[in-house]
Amino acid sequence: MKSSIFTCKASSFPSTTFKVLKEVKINIIKMELSITRPDDWHLHLRDGKLLEAVIPHSAHHFGRAIIMPNLKPPITTTAAAMAYRESILKALPINSGFTPLMTLYLTDSTTPAEIKLAKESGVIYAVKLYPAGATTNSQDGVTDLFGKCMPVIEEMVKHNMPLLVHGEVTSPEVDIFDREKVFIETVLSPLVLKFPQLKVVMEHVTTMDAVKFVESCAEGRIAATVTPQHLVLNRNSLFQGGLQPHNYCLPVLKRETHRQAIVSAVTSGSKRFFLGTDSAPHDRLKKECPCGCAGIYNAPVALAVYAKVFEEAGALDKLEAFTSFNGPDFYGLPRNTSKITLRKTPWKVPESFSYASGHVVPMFAGEMLDWLPSPV
């Protein structure tokens, strides 16, 4: 944040105005932040024409991103991950410095040999756990973590490869608003006790239960990503003025008390939380339909929303660590060296973005935001 200081001498005013005061200083704050280029530690890019349409938004703001593997078919092998990586690189804007960090989709049939191969590839950085049926394209996910997947987890510990978890149970008898809490109790806590050396990222946390769990674990072993939507929206946002399909995501938005707990956690300066947008583009027709897809496309607005949250909390001095330091430090990667500028400049979010097959509606479509990010 830059300050411009203008000095007004007492002689510039009638002498009767000033008896003791000899000099007046007026500070005018120019709202501009220069921070280390952020990374996105949880990103959906899809494939084909949709990939080509959305990747410029992430590449414009972020240096690297952990790429989610829930395509159709899912990215379950090292060979598939490397091929997907090549597709992403080909779709990037010319001269882009964006680096995709690939992941594998964990299944009941994943082998320890595949984990070893992934580690040796040099381009795969984590393995993603989707409980079967938990979210978009998760039907091939894990059904028996503590049975069929234990040899794979042991191999991941051996190679210090993080496990990224979609932290929800899928049992139909569990209320959708309680799925994260029950996952922590029945899956994540036992897993961490069994494998204390396993690095785990609890993705897109949505509850105070998740915040408390992450804070209770050893720093450097358990961390969490936090999305823009779970910082600024609560479950009322799904129903204001009618059903709002573009605010529907999984894990679903929660109560206001949970949102406040997450805001407190990320703006506290804790190293356990870092940026992960969970930006998830869907064609407009797949969102605005009788059975709409879960996912919020926030890549174009994410940094503006994060800055808003930290500004309102009086914690702009802690924004850079959350966006740019905590993630690479946890993954054991170097921090970016380039910069990005955030200016307090009002701008209007586009109503939609067109691509070959249709339109994608971004978060806060048509609304005004206060912070405008741009590369230095």
Cα–Cα distance measured from residue 244 to residue 135, given in angstroms and rounded to the nearest whole number: 18
Q: How many domains does the chain have?
A: 1
Domain contains 273: yes
Tell me the average pLDDT across 335-348. Answer: 97
Beta strand 64-67 with 23-30 is unpaired
pLDDT value at 26 more than 60: no
Beta strand 99-105 with 273-275 is unpaired
Domain contains 355: no
- Residue 61 annotated as catalytic: no
**Among positive and negative, which fits the CA dihedral 307, 310, 316, 321?**
negative
- Residue 246 annotated as catalytic: no
Cα–Cα distance measured from residue 229 to residue 237, given in angstroms and rounded to the nearest whole number: 10
Q: How many CA atoms lie within 13 A of 115 on its CB side?
A: 24
- Residue 204 annotated as catalytic: yes
pLDDT attached to residue 29:
54
Closest CA to 280 of 239, 243, 251, 238: 251
What are the residues whose beta carbons fall under 8 Å from the beta carbon of 335, sequence distance 6 or more?
Answer: 36, 324, 325, 328, 329
β-sheet bridge partners, residue 362? 297
pLDDT attached to residue 138:
87
**Residue 61 · residue 38 · CB < 8 Å:** yes
The active-site residue, picked from 57, 181, 199, 204, is: 204
Domain of residue 144 covers 37-337
Domain contains 18: no
Closest CA to 309 of 263, 341, 276: 263
How buried is residue 193: exposed, middle or buried, by Cβ count under 10 Å (0-12/13-18/19+)? exposed
For 16-49, give one letter per residue: b (16+ CB within 10 A) or e: eeeeeeeeeeeeeeeeebebbbbbbbbbbbbeee
Q: Band the pLDDT of 134: cuts 50, 70, 90.
A: confident
Domain contains 242: yes
Cα distances (angstroms) measured from residue 112 to each of 70, 132, 160, 229: 20, 20, 13, 36
pLDDT value at 10 more than 80: no
The active-site residue, picked from 44, 61, 258, 282, is: 44
Kindly report the backbone phi and psi dihedral angles of residue 165, in degrees, each rounded to the nearest multiple of 5, phi listed first. Answer: -115, 135
Range with lowest mean pLDDT among 28-37, 215-224, 333-342: 28-37
pLDDT value at 3 more than 50: no
pLDDT value at 294 more than 90: yes
Amino acid residing at 139: Q
Domain contains 186: yes
The active-site residue, picked from 39, 42, 57, 254, is: 42
- Residue 359 annotated as catalytic: no
**Residue 39 · residue 276 · CB < 8 Å:** no
Domain contains 286: yes
Tell me the average pLDDT across 117-131. Answer: 97
pLDDT tens digits along 69-118? 999 999 999 999 999 999 999 999 999 999 999 999 999 999 999 999 99
Range with lowest mean pLDDT among 8-12, 86-90, 243-247, 351-355: 8-12
The active-site residue, picked from 39, 40, 140, 166, is: 166
**Residue 309 · residue 263 · CB < 8 Å:** yes
Cα–Cα distance measured from residue 255 to residue 243, given in angstroms and rounded to the nearest whole number: 17
- Residue 42 annotated as catalytic: yes
Q: Band the pLDDT of 30: cuts 50, 70, 90.
A: low
Structure tokens that stand for 36 in this block: 């280390």
Taking phi over 0 as left and psi of -120 to 50 as alpha, with beta for the rest, 349 belongs to beta
**Residue 71 · residue 47 · CB < 8 Å:** yes
Range with lowest mean pLDDT among 28-37, 106-115, 212-221, 260-269: 28-37
Tell me the average pLDDT across 25-42. Answer: 80
- Residue 278 annotated as catalytic: yes
Domain contains 45: yes
First-last CA distance in the chain: 15
pLDDT tens digits along 53-71? 999 999 999 999 999 999 9
The active-site residue, picked from 39, 57, 61, 128, is: 128
**The model's pTM:** 0.91
pLDDT tens digits along 313-329? 999 999 999 999 999 99
Element (H, E) at 102: strand 99-105
pLDDT tens digits along 159-204? 999 999 999 999 999 999 999 999 999 999 999 999 999 999 999 9
Give the domain CATH number at 75.
Answer: 3.20.20.140
Domain contains 374: no
